[in-house]
Structure 1
Amino acid sequence: MSIIQLIKKNYRKSRLKRWNRLYDQSHVTRVENGLKVLASQGRTLSPQDSKKAEEYAKTVLGSIDFAPWLKLYTAYRGEFLEGWIPDNYLGRVVCPAVNGNLRSLGQYKTLSKKILQTESLPDLAYFIKGSWITIAGNPSSKEEVRSICFDQYPYVFLKKDFSFQGNGVIKLDPTGFATFDFSNAGDFVIQAPIFQHPLLEEFSPGAVATLRITTVKPPGQLAKNRLCALRIGRKGMEYIYTKDCIRVPIWPEDGRLFPNATSADWTIMEKHPDTGAHFAGKSIPSFHQAVRLCENLHDRVPHFQLIGWDATIDTHGEVKLMEWNTDEPGIVFSEPTTGPHFKGLGWEELWKNATNLSR
């Protein structure tokens, strides 16, 4: 190797280390804060388990950088379990490897129905590059779209491309629609409102609860549900914001709710803080239909091995799909409770061929 080649190699390695350090920074902060909150609730990490997490991260996952999430999972669970996937390992290693260069596709809300070809998405119309488009793909007008929306519904939701975690979502009634400046909103989809099942309304009053179903489709195999969770809101919320919502893990085999929910800061609760509804002993209605829908849709897009589907159940027990995540589906509130969810997939080996992991 020439001196110039060596310099270039060392420069790339140094740049990669800086990128990884920046990527991990928010993860480390979240873990540190989470461990403090868990400790205040009596869930602490022993020195022995801390050492196990560090050793597993180094020897199995390729870097001690992945130990923090393993430590938090262990503190929550009360024991260390092999097979857990740390959140930063998922983002740094797994998702780039299994979903590749098309990872951002799910963020194009205006393309979801065209790609998935499902009536479960409540799309009503699109606004793309200054043009109104019907769901059939025909040119339209603001007045026609207004009629499509409000001849049927009291209000609708505008979702911008690249919106996520509740950001970039706007609720519009007829007056709001008439005065809204659509020309500065970018590309977006307008979706019909979903009126949720009474059980979900009990847990998420006012904001439609999100049933997250995470499916995995290994090469040459059918997609399978691996992880499920329910994201619910607080009183006064019109829609779910990830940073403020409550997470209830779900047993992926049968749709039973985990007896405890967790807030974004890792406060553990047995009942909804506003409604008093208990989580234990409850199951998601139409759960198997929802799983079947997501698995079937995943089989239509084998370009991705990992997809997070955001669905809900309406008042008639019908499954409604709100969006899909092909980038980096969240796992941290389910892995320590109902997980590990991804054992047997060989993901712990992916780091050995990763180009974005400094070793």
Structure 2
Amino acid sequence: MANKILKAARSINEPFERALLVNGWNYRLKKKKKSGLKLKMLSDSQKKEIKDYWKQYGKKVNPDWAAYFSAVNDWFDPRYIPESLYYSEIARKLSVKGMGGLHHKNVQEQIFDAKQPRTIVRKINNHLADSNYNTLTIDQALNLCEREEEIIIKPSTGTYGGQGIIFWNPEDGLEKLKDIISSLDQLIIQEVVKSHKFMREINESSINTLRVVSLLVDGEPVILSSLLKMGTNGSRLDGLSAGGIIAVFEKSGSLRESAVQIDQTVRTQHDDGFVFKGKKIPSYDALINDAKHQHNRIPYFKMVSWDYAIDESGDPVLIEANIPTGQIDIHQINNGPIFGEYTDAVLDHVYRGTEL
């Protein structure tokens, strides 16, 4: 009986939750317009193309989404995925219900066999443990951290845009570290990855990372879009919400000459002088192969956004798997519709129940 009640409650709440997401993301689009971000002027025929394309899936889509994504790249396409639909419906249908807990950072070491930052201490549901899940006292945890040159402390979930991430070194004092550890129920403490020379030359202060989006098609992972995320102005973080800059890299692993930023500016270089054009990502093929291999370990999710660093030895290091969703706007602004040539297949899967 309890299961039936829970199922009934969820069936009532889901439509309400979807409506909130749709309205919320549409409101965000309106705010972008009011804030001065430009939209492409669409012709009547382009608006009709958008209407006709989405009508086949029973959806009425605001053409402003395509106008927003194509405003700077001048790449009109009716297949741009509105964020209102992506977060409320599409992303949900691209993952197995109930598997969202796998995004917790303290779980990912158990799932993926990729090279990952070395874990020093973890806290799971207020339970302190070492890297092998052996129970620790707070003093033992502090002692392990004190041995390190520097550590990075992350909430084990909810770190979108780098929120809640803290760097600590012994000079900051153990009392500060104790306060940080005590303030969170769920966290992971890891070594700070020493970046490859190429990545340090971009910006010395941050751990610059690569965002790679993969999609399972016929059981095989394909790469949809790839970005290089870079920190600025002495920031330790490379996230866009922390003022980061992005560059786009092609399937060859070489950076594109220019990239559209989230504020619609177009950049060809970093503030510190790093020029995008002609630069090649080190260990690119190894990174892509590893992302595909890791995706095969979690086929519960058709789409995954991976964050990788390149360490000083040139190895790709998996920082995080963003599941079940990942930011799509910056990808579409630079690379067109996020699903590209697979858009029809994805939407057929989501709205018509076909196999992807």
Answer yes or no: same fold by TM over 0.5. Answer: yes
The superposition leaves residues 200-241 of structure 1 with CA deviations (integer Å, 9 ceiling, x where unpaired) of 2233331111211111123x5122222111111112211123
Inter-CA distance 12–112: structure 2 relative to 1 (3 Å threshold): closer
**AA at the equivalent of 1:325:** N
Of the three residues 321, 328, 332, the one matched with 1:331 is: 328
**AA at the equivalent of 2:327:** G
The answer to whether structure 1 residue 291 and structure 2 residue 288 are counterparts is yes
CA distance in 2, matches of 1:90, 1:18: 13
The superposition leaves residues 322-347 of structure 1 with CA deviations (integer Å, 9 ceiling, x where unpaired) of 11111221122222433444223512
What's the CA shift for 1:175?
A: 4.3
Root mean square deviation of aligned Cα: 2.8
CA distance in 1, matches of 2:45, 2:119: 48
- In the superposition, the TM-score normalised over structure 1's length comes to 0.82
Inter-CA distance 134–278: structure 2 relative to 1 (3 Å threshold): same
The superposition leaves residues 2-36 of structure 1 with CA deviations (integer Å, 9 ceiling, x where unpaired) of xxxxxxxxx999957852543323441365268x4
Secondary structure of the equivalent of 2:109?
helix
CA distance in 1, matches of 2:302, 2:86: 13
Residue ranges of structure 1 left out of the alignment (5+ in a row): 1-10, 355-359
Once the two structures are overlaid, the 10-residue window that deviates more, 263-272 or 336-345, is 336-345
**AA at the equivalent of 2:66:** L
The answer to whether structure 1 residue 217 and structure 2 residue 209 are counterparts is no
The answer to whether the 8 Å contact 2:282/2:310 transfers is: yes
Secondary structure of the equivalent of 2:296?
helix
- Counterpart residue number, 1:86: 82
The answer to whether the 8 Å contact 1:50/1:71 transfers is: no
The answer to whether structure 1 residue 202 and structure 2 residue 201 are counterparts is yes
- Counterpart residue number, 2:348: 349
- Counterpart residue number, 2:68: 72
Secondary structure of the equivalent of 1:126?
strand
Once the two structures are overlaid, the 10-residue window that deviates more, 175-184 or 229-238, is 175-184
> 5 Å matches for 1:13-92?
15=16, 18-29=19-30, 31-32=32-33, 36-38=36-38, 44-48=40-44, 51-52=47-48, 54-56=50-52, 58-60=54-56, 62-92=58-88
CA distance in 2, matches of 1:157, 1:135: 14
> 5 Å matches for 1:306-325?
306-325=303-322
> 5 Å matches for 1:127-206?
127-151=123-147, 153-162=148-157, 163-176=159-172, 178-179=174-175, 180=177, 181=179, 182-206=181-205
Residue ranges of structure 2 left out of the alignment (5+ in a row): 1-11
What's the CA shift for 1:60?
A: 4.7
- How many residues are treated as equivalent by the alignment? 335
Inter-CA distance 82–90: structure 2 relative to 1 (3 Å threshold): same
Of the three residues 77, 93, 98, the one matched with 2:94 is: 98
The answer to whether the 8 Å contact 1:123/1:191 transfers is: yes
Inter-CA distance 76–15: structure 2 relative to 1 (3 Å threshold): same
- In the superposition, the TM-score normalised over structure 2's length comes to 0.83
Inter-CA distance 247–279: structure 2 relative to 1 (3 Å threshold): same
Identical aligned residues as a percent:
18
**AA at the equivalent of 1:267:** T
The answer to whether the 8 Å contact 1:146/1:177 transfers is: no
